[in-house]
Amino acid sequence: MPSAGKVVIWGAGPYAKVVADIISLRGQYVIAGFLDDVASGSGSSPGNFLGAPLYYGLDSLDRLHSMDVPFLILGFGDCGARLARSEIARSRGWSFATAIHPSAVIAESARIGAGTVVAAGAVVNPEVRLGEHVIVNMSASVDHECVIGDAAHVGPAARLAGRVTVGRAALIGVGATILPRVRIGAESEVGAGSLVLKDVPDGMVAFGSPARVVGRRTGCTGPSQ
């Protein structure tokens, strides 16, 4: 992970509070502020969020970078928005912080991409590969040799058995269970509490126990809050 330094959290909603808490507990970064590209601020002065400056609009990305803030992390859960905003930030020269809760269990052989968030109580087992800007949410478990694509979100208490593949910007719902060697396609969604026995194609929604494909996923490029 990057060396200690200032970080801005892109997002000023509920999940930004979770990311800020993880960063504060680790003590690896100093939170320089939050960025909100959805709401409109008044004037050029920043607002306030969790006791830190709150900046508005995409123009603030360049302003913050010029203020010697080298790191950025995404503080919202929408997979499509995370993917899109990460590309914007990268194009403007930002480096990405990684946030791992002190109570998370991470195998030594696991590989974690830049910008990824691993929340409280999560378990990431040997030879797992987490892409960039992934969320492994609270109490989720990712078993051996799983591969999780960029900006995917493994929801709270979800269970991934060994050698599962989760595609880019896919969403695994709260409490879902994925059996070994199953592939969850890019930009697909597994509903909360589902039991997935077989592959889910790209861009589709699967739900139930056992899970069945029920339609095409929409809203994968939602707001960054």
pLDDT tens, position by position, 78-132 = 999 999 999 999 999 999 999 999 999 999 999 999 999 999 999 999 999 999 9
Burial label for 30, CB within 10 Å (0-12, 13-18, 19+), is: middle
Q: Tell me the pLDDT tens digit for each residue of 137-175.
A: 999 999 999 999 999 999 999 999 999 999 999 999 999
Catalytic residue flag (residue 133)? no
> How far does CA 47 lie from the centroid of its chain?
25
Query: What CATH topology corresponds to 100-208?
Result: UDP N-Acetylglucosamine Acyltransferase; domain 1 (2.160.10)
The whole-model pTM stands at: 0.92
Looking at domain 5-97, its CATH class is: alpha beta
Catalytic residue among 101, 133, 144, 153: 144
Residue ranges of the chain assigned to CATH 3.40.50.20: 5-97
